[in-house]
Amino acid sequence: MIQLIINGEPQQFECSLNLQQLLENMGLQNKRIAIEHNGEIIPRSKFPNYIVTEGDRLEIVVAVGGG
């Protein structure tokens, strides 16, 4: 088991996984989102090869209503 901090909340996963798998796991595949991994923005094209591991901090953002 590994623990990731996603949007400030600890989340458990079976093992290390890439960002594509992570999004599928969370039901967010094909959603309009952007990801920051340990403070670095990860381009969408890199999701399938980008592995996240124990203790990594992820921010997943979306567009919401705002002025």
Partner 1 sequence: MDDFIIAGKRYKSRLLVGTGKYKDFSETQAAIEASGSEIITVAIRRTNIGQNPNEPNLLDILPSSKFTLLPNTAGCYTAEEAIRTLRLARELLDGHSLVKLEVLGDSKTLFPNVVETIKAAQTLVKENFQVMVYTSDDPIVAKQLEEVGCIAIMPLASLIGSGMGILNPWNLQIMIDRATVPVLVDAGVGTASDAAIAMELGCDGVLMNTAIAMAKDPIMMASAMRKAVEAGREAYLAGRMEKKLYSASPSSPIDGISPMSSR
Which residue ranges make up the site for partner 1 (CB under 8 A)? 6-9, 11, 26-28, 31-36, 41, 43-44, 59-67
Determine the Cα–Cα distance for residues 32 and 4; give it in Å rounded to an integer. Answer: 21
Please state the closest distance from residue 9 (CB atom) to partner 1, in A: 6
Give Cβ neighbours of residue 26 (< 8 Å, ≥ 6 apart): 6
| Distance (Å, whole) CA 12 – CA 63 | 26
Measured from the CB atom, the residue of 16 and 28 that comes closer to partner 1 is 28
- Shortest Å, Cβ 54 to partner 1: 19
